[in-house]
Amino acid sequence: MSESNRLRIAIQKSGRLSKESQKLLKSCGVKFNVNEQRLIAHSDNMPIDLLRVRDDDIPGLVMDGVVDLGIIGENVLEEEQIERQAIGKPAECLKLRELDFGACRLSLAVPTEFSYQDATSLEGLRIATSYPNLLRRYMQEKGINYRDCMLKGSVEVAPRAGLADGICDLVSTGATLEANGLYETEVIYQSMACIIQSTQEQTPDKQALINKILSRINGVVRAKE
């Protein structure tokens, strides 16, 4: 694979960050058209290629230096970082700034009938989550032993299905918890979308382009505050 002179930016293909990520880049003056079938969208007016992938792949692509920049939820970034540190894979990247979308929290929640005092109420119980590393870090800090139930989706139905006693999942309005007979007991991580850069040394031209994009992002985000 040859090193590209074009700046590579990874964004979520489809999902909660996808439209906002595209909107942000467009408001920074990056012109492009997305073809839903295509992985890559080339900018017409700047030497930039957008790589449209699953959000879970974005931190690794940046940390491995496959792409130069990525737009990702801090929850996914931090989860991947802990995972990679544990297995000795490259886990470094530069967080250039938080963005003004993708707000959510990773929270513990239990069924309404559960009498919850504090996190120690979960001692020895089974907790369903898609974020095993963030959950483990929190529970270790609190000195609580619990049992894992790793689910990539449908986490909120795990207690009712008899798979787990509680869950650790992303919450924004709380409607999903309520609809599933659960209530939020602890916020373990607050998250926003952010833009990250690979730690690989950039050519002066590419670094100048990154600086230009970042300064425009600063302007766009500040104007909305």
Q: Choose among ligand PRT, Zn ion, none what residue 5 binds, the Cβ cut-off being 5 to 8 Å by kind.
A: none
Is residue 191 a contact point for ligand PRT (CB under 6 A)? Answer: yes
Is residue 54 a contact point for ligand PRT (CB under 6 A)? Answer: yes
- Minimum distance from residue 2 beta carbon to ligand PRT (Å): 28
Residue 224: strand, helix, or coil: helix
Site size for ligand PRT (CB under 6 A): 22
Is residue 202 a contact point for ligand PRT (CB under 6 A)? Answer: no
Chain position carrying tokens 């909120």 = 156
Is residue 56 a contact point for ligand PRT (CB under 6 A)? Answer: yes
DSSP 8-state secondary structure symbol assigned to residue 32 = B
Comparing CA positions, the residue from 63, 78, 56, 62 lying closest to residue 9 is 62
Is residue 56 a contact point for Zn ion (CB under 5 A)? Answer: yes
Binding mask 92-121 for ligand PRT (x = CB under 6 A): ----------x-x-----------------
Do residues 17 and 50 make contact, with C-beta atoms less than 8 angstroms apart?
A: no
- Give whole-number Cα distances, 197 to 56, 71, 88, 157, in Å: 16, 9, 20, 36
CA contacts within 13 A on the Cβ side of 110: 15
Part in contact with Zn ion (CB under 5 A); list of ranges 52-60, 81-89, 147-155, 166-174: 52-60
Q: Choose among ligand PRT, Zn ion, none what residue 12 binds, the Cβ cut-off being 5 to 8 Å by kind.
A: ligand PRT
115: exposed, middle or buried (C-beta count within 10 Å: 0-12, 13-18, 19+)? exposed
- Minimum distance from residue 202 beta carbon to Zn ion (Å): 27
Do residues 194 and 214 make contact, with C-beta atoms less than 8 angstroms apart?
A: no
- Minimum distance from residue 119 beta carbon to Zn ion (Å): 26
Binding mask 13-52 for ligand PRT (x = CB under 6 A): --xxx-----------------------------------
Q: Choose among ligand PRT, Zn ion, none what residue 171 binds, the Cβ cut-off being 5 to 8 Å by kind.
A: ligand PRT
Alpha helices in the chain (DSSP H): 18-27, 58-63, 74-87, 132-142, 175-179, 204-224
Is residue 73 a contact point for ligand PRT (CB under 6 A)? Answer: yes
Which residues of this protein are in contact with Zn ion, per CB under 5 A? 55-56
